[in-house]
Each structure stands twice: as structure tokens, then as C-alpha cells.
């Protein structure tokens, strides 16, 4: 059985389908802050555990052979909203889960890290970075992911073999849709405003990868010989894109659906800016993401035209908006007590 933490999330919901389609037994552990609807189709086929990774017991690993760990805060705004929670969820909980796995004899552990740990800002030297590059993450999210990586590697030995995937910015359609990721934001903006706004001249680089390719990469890591992937870090990206180039690809993809203009703004030089090499994962795993930005944007557009996830103002599609709303509701309920 595979334990998938965060299985109700943006990447997790797509991964559940991929694993089930390949015949794996799946247990999902999720707090379901964004609801359980993304897993409705699969509920009868999975062991679904409603729980908190900060409070999980050893029993969550009963019968588990492999862990894919996705749970935690997933972008800069949510990390900066509550840095303490970010550290606990992204670093401390990861270490504790890894320690439990090692204690239980579970060797194969796949961790969703982030290429954002390579970010040094637009004023830094423009180089392509690989898994051996020195990193100096500054932002709360990237720092927490890097600290989790270090904790995992410190635990690695013949009894525990983690695989760390530094994922580029993810794009594409998911049953737990998000419109706060750059390609997805462009698709939403195209339909809502007919315009894509590019900041900082669009000069910054970003590695990107489709959500379905991320799920397929987890499967490739599961099926690989552990001696090839155990204790290893891999960059995962379809391609490095300049943001202005990205906007033009999305515009091209949506031409048949909606007229789109691109606005380019100049000024701030504080945007994230980094690009990465994927030669290692291609060499070791023979894995190369297949879904381009153009293909993915067109797929999202087809979903929107069909009325799926087309209610763009729903706060559930924006992680920070949803968390801010939940926190306010929680505070209000503490003040007033029960509603009835």
C-alpha cells in the first residue's frame, strides 16, 4: 500500500488517479482544508484518513510499503501568512513522518520539494542550476523545504532511502483546482479579463511542469530500482520559461477560445528568478515530462468552457484567500461560540 499525504490537494488528487490506474492500493492522509470533493470519484477505492500530519500516530503506516509525502503549505503567500505553521508543517512534520517510516522499516519515501530553493532574485547571476548547486533560500517556503530535505538526507541509510523531487512551478487542471499558479492564473485572467499582465518586463525565468507529469514522475520513482533513486535529489521540470514567453504560449493556446492581449509592466526587480537543469532525472530515470504549457492551457480552457471550475471568484481556488477566510471564521466562532 502507498500512503499519500496531502492526497486531497492540487497534485495529490491527480496522483491518486494515476496510482489507482496502475493498480496500487492507496491510503490518503489529509486534513481536507479545501474539502473532500476532489476525491469523490475515488472514495470507494481508497483508504481515506481525515487527519493532521502534525498529530498522526504510527498506525497511519500500518500495511504501508511506500510513502509519497505532499502534505504541507504549498506556496510563498501561505508560508509567509504563518511562518511558524509553515515550519511545523513543511519541515518538522516531514522529519517526524520520515522517522516513523524508518522505525517501521519503510525504505521508499518520496518527498515533494521545490525548485524555489534555487531562487536568488533577479539581480543574481543568470545560471542554470543543478542538484549539486549551492543553494541559499531566503523565503519562508523555500527555507522550510530545504530544511526538510536536509532532515531527510540526514536520516538516509540502508534502512531509509528518501527520494527528493525539486518540482518546478506546477500547472494544469486538477480536481482540486488552483488559479494561484502562474500558468493557471494566466488562463483565468484570459477568460475573466481578456488580458494577461506580465510584471518586471517578464524577464524572470521559471522552471515549470504539468501536474499530470508530476504524478507520473512519482510513479517512475516508485518503479525505479531503489539503488538509483534512494538518497537522491532530482530536479523536475518540463522546461525553463521566461514569464513573457510563457504569456505568449498561453495566448496562443487560447486563441480558439478567447481574444487575449498581453500587458507588460516594468519596475520592480524583486521577482523570483531561477532556471534548472533536468539532465540528472533524464539520465537516471529516463523520465522527461511530456505535457507542454500550450497543451495544458488548452485543456484547462476546455474545462472552463464546459463550466468546470469556471467560478473564478471561489476562494477555494486560491490557497492564501481560502486560508485567510478560514482563520477569520475560526476567530469569529471562538468569539460567538456555536452558531445555534
Q: Residue 317: which domain range? A: 2-321
Helix (H, G, I), strand (E, B) or coil at 195: strand
Which cell is 261 given? 492581449
* Residue range 95-106: mean pLDDT, rounded: 96
Indicate whether 83 belongs to any domain: yes
Q: Is 280 within a domain?
A: yes
- Residue at grid coordinates 497543451: 295
- What does the pLDDT read at residue 201? 87
**Which CATH number characterizes residue 22's domain?**
3.40.50.720
> Does the pLDDT value for residue 210 go beyond 70?
yes
Q: Measured between alpha carbons, how far is 13 from 28 in angstroms, rounded to an integer?
A: 10
Planar angle of CA 205, 206, 208, nearest 5 degrees: 145
Residue 200 lies in a domain: yes
Evaluate whether residue 332 is within a structural domain.
Answer: no
Mean pLDDT across the stretch 229-258?
96
pLDDT digits (tens, 9 = 90+) for 119-135: 987 666 788 999 999 99
Number of Cβ atoms within 10 Å of the Cβ of 41: 13
Amino acid 80: pLDDT: 87
Residue 61 lies in a domain: yes
Residue 269 has pLDDT above 80, yes or no: no
* CB crowding 162-190: b at 16 or more within 10 Å, else e: bbbbbbbbbbbbbbbbbbbbbbbbbbbbb
What is the DSSP track for 149-194?
HHHHHHH-BTTBEEEEEEE-EEES--SS--S-SHHHHHHHHHHHHS
What pLDDT shows up at residue 318? 96
Residue 8 belongs to a domain: yes
**For residue 339, pLDDT beyond 80:** no
Bigger pLDDT: 80 or 69?
69
Length of the chain: 340
Task: Determine, yes or no, domain membership for 334.
Answer: no
Q: Which of the residue ranges 190-194, 208-212, 277-281, 332-336 would you say has the lowest mean pLDDT?
A: 332-336
* pLDDT, average across residues 142-152: 96
Q: Are 187 and 171 in contact (CB under 8 A)?
A: no
Task: Specify the pLDDT at position 79.
Answer: 83
Mean pLDDT, all residues of the chain: 94
The angle formed by the CA atoms of residues 221, 222 and 224, to the nearest 5 degrees, is 65
pLDDT confidence tier of residue 268, bands split at 50, 70 and 90: low
| pLDDT given at position 194 | 96
Q: Computed from CA positions of residues 293, 138, 55, 58, in that sequence, does the dihedral angle turn out positive or negative?
A: positive
Q: pLDDT (tens digit, 9 = 90+) per residue, 33-53? A: 999 999 999 989 999 999 999
The pTM of this model reads 0.95
Specify if 162 maps to a domain: yes
Q: Say yes or no to pLDDT of 76 above 90.
A: no
Q: What is the pLDDT of residues 4-30, one digit of tens each?
A: 999 999 999 999 999 999 999 999 999
The answer to whether residues 4 and 38 touch, using CB atoms and an 8 Å cutoff, is: no
Bridge partner residues of 208 (DSSP): 169, 239
* Statement: residue 297 has pLDDT above 70: yes
Report which of 156, 176, 294, 171 is spatially closest to residue 236, judged by C-alpha positions.
171
Across 169-197, average pLDDT: 97
Domain count within the chain: 1
Amino acid at each position: 500500500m502507498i500512503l499519500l499525504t496531502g492526497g486531497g490537494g492540487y497534485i495529490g488528487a491527480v496522483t491518486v488517479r494515476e496510482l489507482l490506474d496502475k493498480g496500487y492500493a492507496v491510503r490518503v492522509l489529509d486534513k481536507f482544508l479545501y474539502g473532500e470533493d476532489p476525491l469523490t470519484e475515488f472514495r470507494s477505492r481508497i483508504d481515506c484518513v481525515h487527519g493532521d500530519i502534525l498529530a498522526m500516530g504510527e498506525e497511519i503506516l500500518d500495511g504501508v510499503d511506500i510513502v509519497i509525502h505532499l502534505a504541507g503549505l504549498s506556496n510563498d503567500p501561505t508560508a509567509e501568512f504563518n511562518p511558524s505553521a509553515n515550519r511545523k508543517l513543511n519541515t518538522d512534520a516531514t522529519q517526524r513522518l520520515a522517522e516513523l517510516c524508518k522505525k517501521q522499516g519503510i525504505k521508499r519515501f518520496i518527498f515533494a520539494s521545490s525548485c524555489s530553493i534555487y531562487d536568488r532574485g533577479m539581480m543574481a547571476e543568470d545560471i542554470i542550476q543543478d542538484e549539486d548547486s549551492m543553494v541559499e533560500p531566503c523565503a519562508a517556503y523555500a527555507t522550510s523545504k530545504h530544511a526538510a530535505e536536509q532532515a531527510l538526507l540526514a536520516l538516509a541509510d540502508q534502512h531509509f532511502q528518501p527520494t527528493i523531487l525539486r518540482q518546478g512551478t506546477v500547472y494544469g487542471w486538477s480536481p482540486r483546482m488552483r488559479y494561484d499558479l502562474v500558468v493557471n492564473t494566466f488562463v483565468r485572467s484570459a477568460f475573466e479579463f481578456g488580458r494577461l499582465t506580465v510584471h518586471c518586463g517578464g524577464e524572470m525565468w521559471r522552471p515549470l511542469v504539468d501536474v499530470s507529469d508530476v504524478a507520473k514522475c512519482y510513479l517512475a520513482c516508485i518503479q525505479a530500482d531503489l539503488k538509483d533513486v534512494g538518497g537522491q535529489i532530482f530536479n523536475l521540470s518540463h522546461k525553463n520559461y521566461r514569464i513573457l514567453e510563457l504569456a505568449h504560449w498561453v495566448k496562443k493556446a487560447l486563441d480558439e477560445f478567447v481574444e487575449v492581449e498581453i500587458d507588460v509592466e516594468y519596475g520592480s526587480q524583486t521577482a523570483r528568478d531561477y532556471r534548472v537543469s533536468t539532465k540528472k532525472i533524464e539520465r537516471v530515470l529516463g523520465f522527461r515530462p511530456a505535457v507542454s504549457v500550450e497543451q495544458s492551457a488548452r485543456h484547462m480552457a476546455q474545462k472552463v468552457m464546459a463550466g468546470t471550475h469556471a467560478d473564478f471568484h471561489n476562494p477555494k481556488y486560491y490557497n492564501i484567500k481560502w486560508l485567510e477566510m478560514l482563520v477569520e471564521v475560526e476567530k469569529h466562532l471562538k468569539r460567538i461560540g456555536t452558531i445555534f
